[in-house]
């Protein structure tokens, strides 16, 4: 191993005592490859198994907690007990390769395609469409429905526990329902779930509290709970870096095992809401968190050098996404000093070797610029 990469392969211990074998995590990525009934496919299981050997922890693609929260075609389900055997298959495939299995749970809110939710009834914090062409106007959830969704996050966590997962990640990022409640763009409510920034945190924090209470009741201390967030929105009004720092400051005091920032590039800089626009978002976040909870960094990490530079920011854990699709053996190559063998552009002739299901492969091939080489 190159001595420069040594720190990436040191173990990391969470406050609950669970130890990760190294600092590299597989980032959650939608794969569009489940069965229509919400069960995982053999191709999906093979895809995860292929990428679970080197990393210390795998965060799955998101699974929906209620029928009206399904955000993607061919997304696997976590909204009912009948899905527990399917969920277990995926957890076991990951764990059999030596990685911790973390189930990412979410509700798509106004981002759900109408054809995927009952009666096409798209819901959100308020009746405000997403700022994108063709976006549908969602229906504002009643308070009682908000409470039901909070309970549903708890129920899906129980299913994850029964299915043998090592933890769950609350998906509060990328414009989905939890973020919609936190955002002043999508949340124009005047009840206890909207208004001031403190009130807009009510829904995300209620979900955190519900999940941690379910974990205390149904799991032991080794069960991991993380929270993913997007630090800023382009919309006005929208989430600013300052807003996210307030959220992160509050989350750092909750009973969470990690926070996970969603970034396109790990060295991206804050857009607004903070004084020093030359400071990276990661720097601001680490400063605010102040070692109270580990932060997973992510964003455009392709080479071993990229990973080392990212690790030098001070984040204790790094998530890698697209690069693990491009080169499933990335971690092993770095560990064995074979960095010169790392592939950083997707090989269009190697789908079978890369073990990528057809639906995901087709999306990659038809989305120019998403992956290097396409």
Report phi then psi at 332, rounded to 5. -60, -40
CB distance 182 to 189 below 8 Å: no
SS3 265: coil
SS3 274: coil
SS3 196: coil
State the catalytic residue, choosing from 176, 227, 284, 302.
176
Q: Rounded to an integer, what is the distance from CA 163 to the centroid of its chain?
A: 19
Q: Rounded to an integer, what is the distance from CA 323 to the centroid of its chain?
A: 16
Q: How far apart are CA 314 and CA 282, in angstroms?
A: 9
Q: How far apart are CA 1 and CA 21, in angstroms?
A: 16
In which element (H, E) is residue 103 found? strand 100-106
Query: Nearest to residue 23, comparing CAs of 317, 279, 275, 276?
Result: 317
Query: Which runs of consecutive H residues, i.e. helices, occur in the chain?
Result: 42-51, 84-95, 143-162, 177-182, 197-200, 202-218, 241-251, 281-289, 304-311, 322-326, 330-335, 351-354, 358-365
Q: How far apart are CA 76 and CA 46, in angstroms?
A: 15
Exposure pattern of 77-94 as b/e (b: 16+ CB <10 Å)? bbbeeebbebbbbbbbbb
Say whether 176 is catalytic.
yes
The residues carrying an active-site annotation are 176
């Amino acid at each position: 191993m190159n001595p420069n990469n040594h720190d990436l392969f040191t173990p990391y211990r969470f406050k609950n005592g669970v130890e990760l074998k190294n600092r590299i995590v597989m980032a959650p990525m939608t794969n569009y490859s489940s069965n229509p009934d919400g069960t995982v496919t053999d191709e999906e299981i093979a895809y995860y198994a292929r990428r679970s050997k080197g990393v210390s922890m795998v965060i799955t693609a998101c699974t929906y907690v209620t029928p009206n929260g399904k955000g993607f075609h061919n997304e696997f389900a976590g909204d009912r007990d009948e899905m527990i055997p399917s969920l277990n298959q995926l957890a076991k495939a990951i764990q059999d390769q030596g990685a911790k299995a973390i189930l990412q749970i979410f509700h798509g809110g106004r981002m759900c395609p109408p054809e995927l939710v009952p009666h096409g009834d798209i819901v959100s914090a308020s009746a405000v469409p997403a700022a994108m062409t063709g976006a549908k106007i969602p229906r504002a959830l009643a308070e009682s429905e908000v409470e039901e969704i909070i309970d549903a996050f708890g129920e899906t966590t129980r299913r994850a526990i029964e299915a043998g997962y090592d933890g769950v990640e609350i998906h509060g990022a990328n414009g989905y329902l939890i973020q919609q409640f936190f955002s002043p763009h999508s949340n124009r409510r005047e009840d206890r779930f909207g208004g001031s920034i403190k009130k807009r945190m009510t829904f995300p924090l209620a979900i955190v509290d519900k999940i941690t209470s379910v974990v205390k009741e149904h799991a032991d201390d080794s069960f991991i709970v993380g929270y993913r967030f997007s630090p800023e929105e382009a919309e006005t009004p929208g989430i600013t870096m300052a807003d996210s720092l307030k959220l992160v400051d509050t989350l750092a005091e909750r009973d969470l095992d990690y926070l996970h920032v969603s970034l396109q590039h790990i060295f991206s800089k804050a857009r607004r809401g903070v004084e020093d626009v030359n400071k990276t978002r990661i720097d601001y976040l680490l400063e605010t968190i102040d070692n109270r909870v580990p932060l997973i960094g992510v964003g455009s990490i392709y080479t071993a050098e990229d990973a080392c530079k990212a690790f030098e920011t001070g984040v204790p854990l790094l998530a890698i996404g697209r690069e693990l699709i491009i080169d499933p053996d990335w971690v092993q190559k770095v560990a064995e000093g074979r960095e010169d063998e790392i592939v950083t552009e997707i090989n269009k002739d190697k789908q079978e070797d890369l073990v990528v299901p057809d639906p995901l492969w087709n999306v990659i091939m038809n989305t120019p610029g998403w992956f290097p080489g396409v």
